[in-house]
Structure 1
């Protein structure tokens, strides 16, 4: 079997333990048990074969021609039939095998052969895709971008600016921000040249990167940045960093409210890679200059965030220099305040009169002071304007006459400059219009024709210019233009690659529109587009195809250029603006004839919606017109892909439908229907999406994760989060913020499942991986506080809240443009932290203080946050705790009010039905809860396409976790009012649902309440049974507060049960719980003999530190990293701890440490 394949299938139902195997050496089939390996003959008689098939629900087949898993299915009133499944490279193939009476060995071999053929085709497709991906990854870098441009020979020495630049060597950032033509690049290049003569700087490396619009692509920017940093990186590290993909994040909107609180603000594809680069630069002791030219062309928010991080953590020996026309969105204010910024703006870069005069003298122009004043008024010291003036002079009749007179005949100081100034001043055309017309008129005809035909090209190569102009001497003409200094720069002398200065190109294009026929302009653009496409420069090719107006060719290029973007379009990527222009330019007939263009049009509409939300900072849903267009586009795409039987295309369509359904307007009932409908689409899409569609796959998995979490199906949510992490690992993006966000969500799910140790481990990893101001770090502190509370480590829980406060303060003060997002995060974290403090207060017996805090928090939570699923869950949790504390205080009326509010939050009943508080608990439990308990079953697995029955509208249903909270609180009220029998019936159902869906926390609470319920019914056997089950479950993960928060009624039951508890570990756990109960009451339990004598041997400070880390679940390796010691040293300390406590296991050590008051 091919590597990475198996015959298992998630769609194939239960695991089959029986298999039919073909033995080549015996030329026969046998039956074999897959677990024991025991073999037996295969039934050969027709009746025996039929009876054997009817006794099986599923079996595995390994034949001569292939293998598969078969599952029996049946429908009421129809014969039994069989389906075959084959899992291959993350795809499951399903095929109808036949009815039982037709399922012969020959039929099995035929079906297996067909499935094997499908697998082979898939493997070949994957091989071809892998080869294509490798070719794309090996695309060479343009080396001219990584070298400073050549220095012009006619520059003058600008000592005042060079002195300023020299002062900037001790700053973090040198910013040259000025309009085009201000001489930014020339000044820095001149500074580098001047510094080469200084001995102390001779070995100082310089990294140069000239940016262009294509560098808004994060992966491309990353590759060029790493290449530019080559002077400081060992070759093997450079290759490793370049290979690390800076991928965009998959859309996280499918996770609903739970995801938004965890991954908000973390969609930054470059930060993890940049942190690795910064660490490596620091390790290498890098010193020198990192120069980024043309930074104004960068519009990507991800790159801006990465540069902000770079500035915040730049190694001391490095200086970043940015050359830009616009002020970049970087933390400049904090750099100014800290003295880390040197700025050179337009006014500083303008030529003084003395510098202008020196520049003109170098070009043979000697102006009088009055003429110089006139020129300064016209040009304002603009370097490009001065160069333009000298160029006009050199190409005018004055320059021609001077050249004819002998070239170096000295400076011209007669009336000629006066006449030139008069003409220059008197022109009413814009400067570059006058320039283009005057320069062109002074050039030979063949040069004018060449310029007008090639001015549309973003880069100039001889063979391309030959194709466009028809001139076989293109290489010589380019060299002549460079010699004439006609605003053309040399990108690569060896490859003979040039580029017109942007202003010059614009002027030439304006002239070309006036002189060349429109049809000829379109032909030039089309030919150039074809050339660029053939050379892999798709951005340039697409822009020129747009100018050419050739619809089908433009459509081809749009599909080629944007297929890799996928969900990146939804992350505010600047390339989206280009996509909109391209799509808008296409005739509708072309768009509607290509399903991929239909999907891209839908994504463009959605991305526009998201951009408006970000810019206007308000919630907006799709309008009716947008909804209608999206519906029509998706319908057309589905028709076209069904006609061609393109299952992978249909899978992308279904994934896109999931995205659309999340943003449609409608009532709560419609939103609930779409909630389930989108899950069906996501499952269907996953069945057929290609393995390399990692963006869409992770999006669909994320949506199903949010669906499972909101439905309370925690086991499924945990499995889905692991699938997402596995997918991220396979695609090489496990270090991305999206992947870490999934880890944070999984830690939250694990804590709800009651798996505290693994959740704590994940939270600790998040704290170590992210910086202190990252939202994930803040939420991890909160999660650790909750887990330490569950372990009854109240001091540890408070310490995590203190760390959260410190990091939250830094998070608030950090420079961030998204103030609204920050304000939301701060409010949410403050509320959750305040809730934890209220719980800690009640754990210490301060019930009045805790109740007052919870009342204030409920008021704040009701008004401060939007009505999302997470908001309802948060409110529900606050209501539950308030009601529980009111019960503990004996205030039954207030507890009933809390249950009433919780019922309304769940949408279980209207206020009229619940108006009588006296009948509230019984009404809810016996009329509403049973209906909702049976409504929790999830939809069955999707078939190859969504079924009508699966998409049928449903009434609004509360999320499963909130419903469980309501049911448990209902049971507590029943117990408080003496209705133990009704409570036990309800709790039995809660227990079954919690076991089914993996809600470990709810299961433990249900078992504890069942113990109390049966004790009230005077049934000690069942009470002990449920309490023992709770002890066994709680001991594994160290749960304590779930026991302690049940109060002294449970302590009495536990004390009665203690003599019958079997097993040293379980007994020690029960004893330690009783100690905690007694501590809460300020006395020791009489049944437990607590050693009054001191420890035989005192503990060292290091042993105490290790003991406390053992208690919170650290492994030996984690303790070693935390304390910066070896693992062997940790093992030695742990052995000494066991000896001093006279125990032989971690659990016994923890229990003994609690008895002695060591923790």
Structure 2
């Protein structure tokens, strides 16, 4: 009897398959969802598009949650869904179509009575397929057929027959394939026509929010950072998340378990080894185990690790099978992170001692291929420190250890390097690491040892240039400008022997060289030369690689502007330094430029009388570290001393002005400014003769920036001719800014006022106010003494001071009569304790009575009184009370 005759006489409902065996009813059942199943609306919404396309494909790796996703969707459709689960080893078109027809019948979907069922497990009559397609095409409501684990039942002939039925069934059939591999259907045609709905591995991966909801279903509440870490480790893989959560439920500390569990000794490992690794051939298993030591791999690298070629089709097949191998493009692949972790543990158990050798092979291949960061990582993993250090230096990448986006990673990478590494390159790495941490003596010792080894081996331009870069940094940190000059000169001669491509690849090397040279020149007081060098870096190539030297250079340029007396210019440059690494994407905690930039801003704030802001900036600068570099350390000492002086703490100011970082060579500006601070402290204590004596060794020759401060001390000591002579002898150049010229004008104003020439004094004050107003420079006026401040109350000067030095609208009252005193200079608000002292003054209490009332000593009250008088710009009790009332302070 022919198959057609058999089909014609077959019963309407078949109870046995073509082999005469009963149908396995479990294959037609929609899988049940566990209590911890999480419905994900974004995926359900995507699946709803299945009614818009004839074909829907949910294609993902084992355990990706494909089946439960489709099962949940199917149960909520509100119509019958034919479900068929594939069976391993299923053979024959007849068997496949017999089960498809039975799945339709089991779902209650009526079929033509004469359609029959295949009688031969290996084949199906074409007419049956025609009748089935024709029947489906006439349906008003489409039939939904889900083929789960389709990769287990597919074959070339089955795929062709299925595509025939799907194409001719038209809108009457909606086919949903749940599979680990792409089916052999003509997917290109469906995709080109927009006739396929696809959900793939990347979309199946759980998001952080979904993972948080899933672990909550398991009774776990984790902080967001713990959930993010778990998603990152599992790659959002559904089975990994579920198995991890199940194991964590049994742990006394679930959060710690999920953070620290050993993937290679978990149920996740059992799942992946059974479902993925053991399904592969022995050669493919060996390949997967060997490539697990890499973050990514290509056929050539696989050949290096396995000793065998021909990996391209194997890798492509693993990817198409969703075997946890991701295609990165350009023939590069990577393993799922958790799968790789498990494979590495399996590799150590199966082949002890092989892992370091694989890392060595990978390191050498990657270095030859030009992938330096990965080569360094594998060299370090192999413990081959001489190779790893040499690779870094050969690439001229030693500067990346000094700062930049990779500095932290490189420091951590080389931290395990021990004394077994004895090459010159290894000592250069040690020197770079120590110098970047400001361990100067230890760094220079490594540098000398590296130089000794270089002298005993053939010339190596990259090694030598790297050595010179580190000598420049060492010279900067030790305060040795001459050494820096010689190192940079030698580096310039050597550049021609180094690959131009490498120099272009590593612009940070040149940027660091020039930055350290500029700092050494700044320390030496060669401001013009320093500015030229630092400006070359600041205006040089942008990007993250040079962000830190640019920031460092900007901080030093800001300091030069400040030392020359230009407050606004210094402020702008310092602010640019602070934002340099932020805009470039670089970040590093040991940033010299951000610390120095904040110190310059603090110095500007002190000169403007903004003492609270100055203290905040000083504190922020301290958070940037305490660098050994003498320029920054000296600046910190001087700014701290200036702030203390502004707070009427002269003894503490003189002590703070002394630099704490030793330097091999003295700095003329550092010594001069330390002396000026000390002199100002003596003046504040009422010791003008001592103030002048401190300045005996400070020369103004070629440095007009010092002349005005020295002249002020001379005038305070009664040496009028010496004071004015200093100012007359100075011919300020373009670099001298308002901070200097304002002080000089105040010296002349005070001299004229003391000589009784009020008109000249007011003229000089007007000049000083005009200069200071642009920079909002207040400190010189606050330190000028009561006689100068009284002159500021004159109507002719109040307009120049109003709004930035004195309150808006201050001035004489309307109408005739003598001008009243204007409100005092705007300095700082009185503290709560100072207001209490002024209240006592207003009540005509004596100093002793105020002390008893406030439960403090008489000396403490006297200290508060000095501060009150300074802030209010007065010399006595009565004036203090009157000014306080004018300001509404009492």
- TM-score, structure 2 normalization: 0.47
Higher Rg: 2
- TM-score, structure 1 normalization: 0.38
